[in-house]
Amino acid sequence: MAKDMTLLWGAGSPPCWRVMIALEEKNLQGYNQKLLSFEKMEQKSQEVLNINPRGQLPAFKHGNVVVNESYGACMYLENQFKDQGNKLIPDCQTEQALMYQRMFEGQTLFQKIADVAFYNWKVPEGERHDSALKRNTEALTTEIKLWEGYLQKTPGSFLAGKSFTLADVTVYPGIAFAFRFGLCEKRYPKLAAYYNSLKERPSIKATWPPNWLENPQTQDALKNI
């Protein structure tokens, strides 16, 4: 089954990482994969465009089926391989509802992280404003505090309760990305505990961004959050 799958990905990209964690959780190792360079703009190559016309990573294909949106790919893999690997959608109505809530809230979280972490990269120098960065920083601080509160109230060690679910598959990479870019562990102890507790989970450890392993030094874009 995995031999019919192709994943084109970039190191350190939370969307790519989500799909890779899902593949590991469903015991779908052995898929065709290729690491591409964002620095070399390889996501705009014809190889990628043949699968993902947006010129973005991940580019994921299973046989003739293409699912490039990372959330969609994770949900697709869970639904296609329900009886294989780890179950990622709980049966409990309450846990399932919380899982979907946290999953899709995770998109807001990562967007606000990106608004701060990538501000100087995305906004041309002549168009940058301290007030805009301050506004983005305040919005992210509010968002991070919300997630710190969620983890204080959630029963269990995971985002949706006592079991590892699609919420963790999709949101964990963004949280890890935040700490990589300087989020203070002492300031957000619940988020830090969640982040550190899952580092050794086999699916996460096996797919840890290779560039982070090569250069473990964190950056400081989020140090003031």
pLDDT digit string, tens, across residues 97-138: 999 999 999 999 999 999 999 877 777 778 778 888 899 999
Same domain, 102 and 204: yes
Query: What's residue 209's pLDDT?
Result: 96
Question: Which tokens belong to 211?
Answer: 């560039």
Same domain, 111 and 149: yes
Same domain, 59 and 140: no
Compute the chain's Rg from CA coordinates: 18
* Residues ≥6 apart with Cβ < 8 Å to 16: 7, 9, 10, 57, 58, 70
Q: Which residues of 33-61 are buried (b: 16+ CB within 10 A; e: fewer)?
A: beebeeeeebbeeeebeebbeeebbbbbb
- Residue 46 contacts residue 53 (beta carbons within 8 Å): no
Q: What is the mean pLDDT of the chain?
A: 94
**Domain total in the chain:** 2
Instruction: Report the percentage of the chain scoring pLDDT > 90.
Output: 85
The reply to whether 178 falls in a domain is yes
* Residues ≥6 apart with Cβ < 8 Å to 42: 10, 36, 48
The reply to whether 219 falls in a domain is no
As a whole number, mean pLDDT of residues 65-93 equals 97
- CB burial class (10 A; 0-12, 13-18, 19+) of residue 67? buried
Distance (Å) of CA 66 to CA 41, 157, 165, 178, 224: 22, 33, 23, 29, 40
Range of the domain at 152: 93-214
Same domain, 103 and 35: no
Same domain, 73 and 99: no
Same domain, 126 and 177: yes
Poorest-confidence range of 45-59, 117-131, 132-146? 117-131
As a whole number, mean pLDDT of residues 14-31 equals 97
Instruction: Report the percentage of the chain scoring pLDDT > 70.
Output: 100
Question: What's the CA gap between 199 and 166, in Å, rounded?
Answer: 16
Residue 156 clears pLDDT 90, i.e. is over it: no
Same domain, 76 and 97: no
Q: What beta strand segments (E) does 84-127 contain?
A: none
Same domain, 208 and 139: yes
CATH code, 16: 3.40.30.10
Query: What's residue 58's pLDDT?
Result: 98
Query: What's residue 160's pLDDT?
Result: 95
Same domain, 208 and 106: yes
Same domain, 111 and 179: yes
Query: What's residue 217's pLDDT?
Result: 80
The reply to whether 85 falls in a domain is no
Stated pTM of the model: 0.95
Same domain, 173 and 195: yes
Identify the band that residue 27 occupies on the pLDDT scale cut at 50, 70 and 90. Answer: very high
Same domain, 72 and 156: no
CATH code, 129: 1.20.1050.10
Domain boundary among 80, 113, 128: 80
The reply to whether 44 falls in a domain is yes
Polymer length in residues for the chain: 225
